[in-house]
Copies of this chain bind each other. A is one copy, B any other.
Amino acid sequence: MTSSQNSKKQELPPTAWAVLGLLSFPGERTGYELKKWADSSLRFFYWSPAISQIYAELRRLEELGYAASARSGPEETRAKRRYAITDAGREALAGWAADTAEAGPPVLKHGLLLRIWLGHLAEPERLRAMVGEHLERTRGELAAVREAVEHADGVPQWSFPTLALRWSERQHLAELELAEALLTDLDGLAQNRQSPGRQADGDAPTPG
Contact = CB atoms under 8 A, between A and B. Distances in A.
Task: Tell me the interface secondary structure of chain A in the complex.
Answer: helix
Contacts of A201: 156-157
A150 to B, nearest CB: 9
Which bucket holds chain A's interface residue count?
35 or more
15 contacts: A17-B114, A37-B208, A40-B208, A93-B118, A98-B123, A100-B133, A105-B137, A106-B108, A107-B109, A107-B110, A116-B164, A120-B160, A157-B204, A158-B207, A171-B174
Interface of A: 14, 17-18, 21, 24-27, 29, 33, 36-37, 40-42, 45-47, 90, 93-94, 97-98, 100, 102-123, 126, 129-130, 133, 137, 141, 148, 151-152, 155-161, 163-164, 166-168, 170-171, 174-175, 177-178, 181-182, 185-186, 189, 192-193, 198-208
